[in-house]
Structure 1
């Protein structure tokens, strides 16, 4: 099992209730780029990227491909 940090990009929800994860990536800059683009597409305001150290890559792979955390992850 491979453990590595991942970065999750967040946007502010339109109803101001909080943050929603937009995507994740193993590179912080890429997570931010994709997350910002996805937020714009959904009419949301991009918030930022948070790191998740030593995340289990296998666990992140269990989300379906169409889950918001996996969309455009490459």
Structure 2
């Protein structure tokens, strides 16, 4: 975060939270931890497919939710 306008005080007043409205509109951020080997395999696939990892992961979630009709 390089622009101080990208942060604001959290509701509890204990610090700042990110504000990404300028770049990402109403999208939400999710932190995902994965095994380094799995990450490397995923990134290799994304490179082969020429798509960002975020697009790949979002597509997997969307496909699963549609399958489950959620």
What TM-score, normalized by structure 1, do the two folds share?
0.26
Q: Which has the higher strand share?
A: 1
Q: Greater relative contact order (Cα 8 A, min sep 6): structure 1 or 2?
A: 1
What TM-score, normalized by structure 2, do the two folds share?
0.26
Q: Which has the higher helix share?
A: 2
